[in-house]
Amino acid sequence: MIASRSLTSLAFPLLLLAAWTIGAGFTDPLLIPSPAATFAALKELAAQGDLWTELSISIRRVASGVVVGAAIGIPFGIAVGLWRWAETLLGAALPAVSATSSAIWAVLGVLWFGLSDGATVFVVAMTVAPILAVNTRDAVRAADPDLIQMAQSMGFGPLAVTRDVVLPAILPSLFAGFRLAVGFGWRVGLVAEALGSPSGVGFRLKQAVDLLHTPEMFAWSLTVILAMVALDALALNLIEARSFRWRKQLVSA
């Protein structure tokens, strides 16, 4: 059974690799390099140390932006979803920020923070915050109102209600939104690096495009894909398993 699942999970990557190999054979290498040329460029980047240096820079920037965005978006979503006065006061800001393009945030980030880490962190945070805010708001509104009212009638204050009742109820939806936010944050972070940063994977990807070094461009693109797959398969799945460990305990009991 395990071997069958492993083979099934490898089917799509193998088909993609076969299609890539066939397509490269009938196309100008300047447009689509072969897998062999791409992996050779990837190996060279790794041997030089550029791969790990630039990747670590990008991961640090995106992670910082996600943390900042979560620190803004989650409390905002809880407040708007839980209290009517907060929705009246702040609710109009959410669709406005959500409708703002990441390209606008990128331009503003470069304008305000220059060629620094702050520009990328700002763009990622402003992209992640509304995603988590909307997801959190909807999850709070879908929570059982009887539990919230019961906690309030027992003398729980706003912070205690949020910590002990609301957060456990919205955790599954919150984690789903967090996955989505991380994916979007990673993509817009690369765009921000390409527009206004002297380092990072996005910068090196744009540099490879400008120099028409297609194998290196594909190598950096492959690095981005593998990094996201590794992040989802290792870090996010591990956090999810630990966060929802109580479900398995409840079922076994």
pLDDT tens digits, one per residue of 121-169: 999 999 899 888 888 888 887 776 777 777 777 777 767 777 777 777 7
Name all domains of the chain by residue range, CATH numbers in brackets.
Answer: 49-244 (1.10.3720.10)
Query: How much is the pTM?
Result: 0.79
**pLDDT given at position 253:** 47
Report which of 150, 151, 144 is spatially closest to residue 169, judged by C-alpha positions. 144
Q: Which range in 25-29, 46-50, 88-92, 235-239 is most confidently predicted, on average pLDDT?
A: 46-50
d(CA 201, CA 221): 9
d(CA 140, CA 250): 23
Six-digit token pair at 169?
Answer: 């109820």
Based on C-alpha coordinates, what's the Rg of the chain? 22
Query: What is the sign, positive or negative, of the torsion defined by CA atoms of 149, 153, 154, 158?
Result: positive
pLDDT tens digits, one per residue of 62-104: 899 999 999 998 888 888 887 777 777 777 777 777 777 877 8
Q: Which of 45-49, 65-69, 219-223, 237-241 has the lowest mean pLDDT?
A: 237-241
Q: Using the 8-state DSSP alphabet, how is residue 34 labeled?
A: -
